Amino acid sequence: MGINFDKALGIHPHTLNLRTERAKVLAGNLANVDTPGFKARDFDFQAAIASVEAQQRQYGQVQSQTSPALQFRNPYNNTMDGNTVELGVEQAHYAQNAMDFETSLTFLNMKFQGLATAIQGQ
């Protein structure tokens, strides 16, 4: 009897993929903090993960990993050059995403440890 990794690992691998995609978007925002007219973007992580969970429930696995729809972020303060990137806000979002990535990685590691224990029969 083989191990079905989609069922064994659950949502965690997909969560890591989405966290990686979000890190890329946030890093792009930070890189363009001084670019006139640049509009900060992000995506709704909860909606993206809900879409993945719905696919798992409907099909038993994720059919295709698509990039989530990017949305423009509304700034707290307007700038004269039209740039909507706010350095402190972006840094906070990036740091929170990094911590959430580490948490997801820890959960995935615990799943692998549990599978290894089960395989060893302990």
pTM exceeds 0.75, yes or no: yes
- 25-82: per-residue pLDDT in tens? 999 999 999 999 999 999 999 999 888 888 777 766 665 666 788 999 999 888 899 9
CA 62 to mean position of chain CA atoms: 16
Max Cα–Cα distance, the chain, nearest Å: 65
- 90-121: per-residue pLDDT in tens? 999 999 999 999 999 998 888 888 888 888 88
- CA dist., res. 92 & res. 122, Å (int): 42
Helix residue spans in the chain (DSSP H): 5-9, 12-31, 45-59, 87-120
Is the separation of the CB atoms in 14 and 45 below 8 Å? Answer: no
Is the separation of the CB atoms in 14 and 54 below 8 Å? Answer: no
